[in-house]
Structure 1
């Protein structure tokens, strides 16, 4: 009987210790990562003993964040991932990613920020680019904190709750002229920083209007040819 119990326990352990990813607003990941950009996977599952950790070979399409001498459009880079339960499952095609620079490439795991390019509208792509180039994410990280919706502690002026008035992909938590933090949507505003009158308060009990981060079945955006 004891042997049977042990067998059941060890059979369940891989499930218990499977990779679990806590949802984080893109700002929380992007502002702390070294590389953010659009890449296109060219070759998948190219792991070898010569280059440990290599998961895929990719072409850089556009760099939002990263040292120019290290990452340029049309450069070929490797995507790395550490072994374990959070080993990256490689997607094919063009996608937006963020990660840590490593050995001339980018290191990611299953919890890293990434979305297929076709799931973004041109306005959302422009918004992410604007947030990064205007340092809105960086200012938000240094001046503001993002707290969970169900954290019932008293809210402070330098905090944003993770409920969104705007789509998640285009939202940034930044400080206004009076130091109060709130969500803004650069896709509607360009790069102008908000004043305190620009912040829209949302009922904490409502759900986000759009939630596409790590959504396994997002709806692709139909692009119009111009």
Structure 2
């Protein structure tokens, strides 16, 4: 039997990059996946319903979650993956750059979880995975806003793990903190920037999106049924 057979998963930011690989991994293991993203892929994907969603719009989110529950009957997995960057050194970072990243990466995670969590509590089960970052664990030059949000989603996951299990519900909440991953965006970064990162990584390379997806798949599955409030670092041994 496939690991996610019969389960319904929501993946935010599922149209590309790590999010797309997470969707593919879930489908491979039998899940019906709802990919919620600002952009919709031009080609349809088997067993993936692509839905346009702005994670900062609470009205859109409430309608989206209600429609998903009505259509599929339940939500078993939520992956909070949607995120953006607006990098700058602190003395050059504008208030707009700060606010945009906080709204999407931090409040967006709060918005989705607040909407989905009660459904999982009613069903007495579920798995929520926040996609954090090595930057949220160790910080990084020029990423004050991004690091704050990724540290924040780790803290929220630990808090929700306590909240959602308080009355005995088997709703687990964990985080996955990727290192630098070989996405399409990273392919535009010059070697002179990537080579020092690889040199700081014990395994000597960037990660692949599928490697992050496999970690998320594990936490989403019943194989991780006794894991909650945990941050799984998937970074090849990188230390910034």
Task: Tell me the TM-score range normalised by the shorter chain.
Answer: under 0.3
TM-score, length of structure 2 as denominator length: 0.25
Larger Rg: 1
Structure with higher helix content: 2
TM-score, length of structure 1 as denominator length: 0.26
Ranked by relative contact order (alpha carbons within 8 Å, sequence separation 6 or more), the top structure is 2
Structure with higher strand content: 1
